[in-house]
Amino acid sequence: MTATSSSKRRPRRSVLYMPAANQRALDKAEELPADALILDLEDAVAPDAKENARGQACAAAASGRYGSREIAIRVNALDTDWHDADLRAAAEAAPDAIVVPKVNSARDVNNIERALELSGAAQHTEIWAMLETPTAMLRAEEIATASDRLSTLVLGTNDLAMELHAEQPPDRGPLLGGMSLCLLAARAAGKTILDGVYNNLSDPDGFEAECQQSRQFGFDGKTLIHPRQLEPCNRVFAPTAEQVEHARRVIEAFEQAKAAGQGVATVDGQMIENLHVTNAHRVLDLAEAIAAAEQ
């Protein structure tokens, strides 16, 4: 089974970065309702704390103490002095995924995959590629299709805005072109895609609005920087009870129409075709995956 096919059964609404140098934060994460945790060796860790953080992240990932949550380790970028040692240690720890910043090409993905295989990485350990630069946006399709081990694209919207010399207004207009390219690539390749972080912890309304925009855009979930962002993120990216009920009625109505020799059905005055049924099954699958993960 490839990483891509296995990942589709797991919700990734909320993906929380945890500083791996902070053992107290790693312990607290056992109680947090995140779908996935990224144990971070990169931005959240000072240079003189990198080695200690690496050991703590790998021990936490290998511990099995986080229940049904997916556990990923974010290594330092390919061009840093820490990357190779991070990748070897993370591969040995066998997390669910290894998150690699600043992936800019299919060659980067191939090099990461080769290094993981040489390090004896478990088959279940996926690659999550961070797309954070204009180059990555323009090469999103080749990155997304470079490897079956690559299951997820993670947007780095702060870095992208910096490289574009762009502001980040509430509607994120300057970033939407690049975000669209990445979303198209993810859907064409059958991968998960996660939106970038929201920095202003004092603006919960702005955060929830950005979650709504992200969901409407088509993202599977969002990366987070603080536990207080978990509840609204999980809620926004989950189907509502009304959506689940509507999905069931769509499937039932279409099955009845087929049994009667008809190719379309009507639900609440709307014509229902195959595409609506496909989307209804997606809604039910997501709801069931969330329910299973929360048990």
Q: Are residues 179 and 252 in the same domain?
A: no
What local confidence, expressed as pLDDT, does residue 16 receive?
98
Q: pLDDT below 70 — which residues of the chain?
A: 1-9
Structure tokens at 33: 């309702």
What local confidence, expressed as pLDDT, does residue 5 receive?
41
Q: Are residues 13 and 123 in the same domain?
A: yes
Q: Are residues 42 and 58 in the same domain?
A: yes
Q: Are residues 214 and 284 in the same domain?
A: no
Q: Are residues 213 and 200 in the same domain?
A: yes
Q: Are residues 81 and 104 in the same domain?
A: yes
Provide the whole-model pTM: 0.93
What local confidence, expressed as pLDDT, does residue 3 receive?
43
Range of the domain at 152: 3-236
| Total domains in the fold of the chain | 2
- Contact 124/150 with Cβ under 8 angstroms? no
Q: Are residues 165 and 248 in the same domain?
A: no
What local confidence, expressed as pLDDT, does residue 226 receive?
97
What local confidence, expressed as pLDDT, does residue 293 receive?
85
Q: Which of 68, 57, 67, 65 is nearest to 92 (CA)?
A: 57
Instruction: Write the CATH number for 232.
Output: 3.20.20.60
Alpha helices in the chain (DSSP H): 3-7, 23-28, 50-63, 83-93, 106-118, 134-138, 140-144, 157-164, 176-189, 204-217, 230-236, 241-259, 274-293
What local confidence, expressed as pLDDT, does residue 69 receive?
95
